[in-house]
Every structure is written in structure tokens, then in C-alpha cells.
Amino acid sequence: MLTAEEAADLIEAIASRQDRAAFAGLYRHFAPRVKAFIMRGGTDAEAAQEVAQEALIMVWRKAASFNRSKASAATWIYTIARNKRIDLLRRSARPIDTEDWLVVYAPEEEDADKSVLAGQTYTRVKELMGGLSVNQLVVIQKAFYEDKTHTVIAKELKLPLGTVKSRIRLALLRLREALEKDET
């Protein structure tokens, strides 16, 4: 079991002298944890293993960009893994389901602190969605979670197309206003 300080030290050893032993220790500790993290997001074991390996290879390559004053080693590594999972979702032919649309369409950030902020925004949007009316939430889920067109949503819900569009527009406006209020 690595402490946060030990993990940060290992990354810095990789960055400063390409220390293979440090990488092996980091890999042994984080590979199974990253795989489990990715699997909790709905990815199968084989794909999660691939994402974990790619993420840790990226740790090796980008170790010099790690800054312990901006993020912990774990946060930095899990952010890389999250971005690798997003890449996997974008490459896959399957439709994006559940809450993946929030992850996939989030702006890509290089800095771990910015990615952490994006994760906090993701969490806040999920919270704010709980405050939408049932009618707004249903159309948002169908439009973004299920990737359905406004026309298909209107037919499924037996609503006029204009009503569907208005509910989506109002829900997105409400979310945006709440996020802007959070920033002030």
C-alpha cells in the first residue's frame, strides 16, 4: 500500500531519472485500482485492463508534467485514466449510454487541476439535474443519455415537437444559469 507521498515520490523518480523500479511499484499499486475504477464506469474487464495499461503508460510518458502541489498522485493518475476511458468511448461504435454523455462531451484538459475542476462540474451538473422538473429531466435523459433526436422524443412521449424543444432549452438554460451562479 502506497501513501500519497510515496506515490508522488515515485512519479517524480520516473520524471527525473526514468526509474523503472519506481514505475513498477506505481504500476503494481495503481493498475488494479484503475482497472476497477474503469469497470465501475460500466466498461468490461478486458477494455478496462486496456485503459488501465494505456493510462499507466501515459503516466510514464507524462511524469514530468506531474505537480504534487496541484493534485495528488492518485487524482492525477485517475484523471489520466478517465481521459483514456473517454477516448475509448469516442472510438467505440456503441451508442453512449447512461451518464457517459457528460464525460465524453466534457472539454479535454491537459492539466490535472483543470480535469479535477471538470470532474467537480460534472458532479455539480448531476446534482442540478435532480432539481429539474420531471418533464425536463425526461427529455434531457432521452436527448443526451439515449442520444435520441427531438422528433423521436416527441413521438415516444406523444408530445408536440415544439414542447420537447422548449423543455430541453429551458432545462439547459436552468443548468447553465445555476453553474454561472456557482462561479460568482
pTM reported for the whole predicted model: 0.53
| Domains of the chain, start order | 1-94 (1.10.1740.10)
* Mean pLDDT value of segment 37-42: 79
The residue with greater pLDDT, 128 or 93, is 128
With contact defined as beta carbons under 8 Å apart, do 52 and 34 qualify? yes
Query: For the segment 91-123, what is each residue's pLDDT rounded down to a tens digit?
Result: 765 554 444 444 444 444 444 445 455 556 666
C-alpha neighbours within 13 Å on the C-beta side of residue 8: 12
State residue 144's pLDDT score. Answer: 72
**Does residue 71 carry a pLDDT above 70?**
yes
Helices 45-62, 4-17: inter-axial angle, 10-degree rounding: 60
C-alpha cell at 98: 447512461
